[in-house]
Amino acid sequence: MRKLRIATMVTGHFTTPPPFGVIYAPMDIAMAISEGLTRRGHEVTFFAPEGSKIKVSEVRTNKLKALRQNGELSILAGSNVGGAEGAKIYNLWDQFLLSAIYKAALEGKFDIVHIHPVDRALPLAYAIRSIPTVYTLHDPIYPWRAEAFQMFSSPNQYYVSISDAQRIPAPDLNYLATIYNGIAIGEVPFIQKPKGNHLLFVGRLHPEKGVAEAVEVARKTDEELLILGPPVTGEYWDKKVKPYLRDKIRHIGVVSRRELYEYYGNAKATLVPIQWEEPFGLVMIESMAAGTPVVAFRRGSVPEVVVDGKTGFIVNTVEEMVEATKRIDHIDRNFCRKHTEENFGLEKMVDEYEKVFLKIAT
């Protein structure tokens, strides 16, 4: 089998892996793919800021200092830069790494470029057509994004969707495959008999993730709810969540990966009342890997990830979620684990990326 030379990049904003407290699923997936392909003998060069540590062939920083260091905006701090000017700085930090990738590509050093910040790479890939560029789509394809993809389309640019649902707004892109996100399931302890009897919410504490709806479910069922996610401020949190934080509804904050898996495994169910068309949702497969059923709203990728009535329940409203939590004991936790092992394992994900990379590099 041919061994490929692959360049990949996620962000210049912070190191890889990100600082503690930063939740950024594209980074987790990019690391897993890159390290997996390296183990298989491919030459993977990962472009990231100084301080990044990834088990790949080479980490190339080009002496770039991360914008975010120790949770602070190191370059922007105290400079009174924000709004549109701040957005320009974030863009330039990514463009610096992307320019380094395509400069090396022009010198014939890579067979494939694998990019995760698709929006910022489009102009370079459009202009430099001598090397295949593969984008993993992590975000919904909003109308403006679909228009941009069409505007910058060229034969050397390919897309990987992370669910079939993600493709709906732009079904005619140059897709290589739908490849579901995967995790190292062996690292997730399976818990047959949970120590706790709580409901769980994990994720960013923003309206689209539905933390307020999770709180409403807990209040209506009088169940304990543990909320895991970085602290936030603002009207949504102050009005929709904070007033209800009492003995049974608690915000735990950010925990280590090991602690996270313990929270998953010891919960009776993980609530995913999303308010947007989420392209995938690692929370669902992490929960099921631990044996914990998922109760989720029927949006985005949910019907592709959760088997209704087998690994949890797919519902449409808060009232239906309330009723589903009352039937959660009917779910076989062993089947939750089995379903995840068969469909969302890390090695299966790496297999699929290797397959499509080899296909377009020949």
Domain range list for the chain:
5-182+345-361, 185-343
Q: Are 277 and 302 in contact (CB under 8 A)?
A: no
What residues contact residue 276 under an 8 Å CB cut-off, 6+ apart? 140, 208, 299, 300
Average pLDDT, stretch 45-64?
Answer: 96
Phi, psi of 242 (to 5 degrees): -50, -40
Mean pLDDT of 18-22: 77
Across the chain, what does the average pLDDT equal?
Answer: 93
Q: What is the CATH number of domain 5-182+345-361?
A: 3.40.50.2000
Q: Give the sheet arrangement for strand 58-60, strand by strand.
A: 58-60, 43-47, 5-9, 112-115, 133-136, 157-161, 175-178
80 falls in which pLDDT band (50, 70, 90)?
low
pLDDT digits (tens, 9 = 90+) for 185-237: 999 999 999 988 899 999 999 999 999 999 999 999 999 999 999 999 999 99
Q: Beta-carbon neighbour count of residue 282 at 10 Å?
A: 19
| pTM listed for this prediction | 0.93
- Which whole number is the average pLDDT over 160-187? 97
pLDDT over 70, % of the chain? 96
102: its two tokens: 């395509």
For 346-358, the pLDDT digits (tens) are 999 999 999 999 9
DSSP-derived 3-state class of residue 62: coil
Q: Which residues of 156-186 are buried (b: 16+ CB within 10 A; e: fewer)?
A: bbbbbbbbebbbeebeebeebebbbbbbebe
pLDDT in tens, 130-144: 999 999 999 999 999
Same fold, 5-182+345-361 and 185-343: yes
Considering only CA atoms, give the Rg of the chain. Answer: 21
pLDDT of residue 79: 56
Report the CATH superfamily, name and number, of domain 185-343: Glycogen Phosphorylase B; (3.40.50.2000)
Residue that has been written with the tokens 């789509």 in this structure? 137
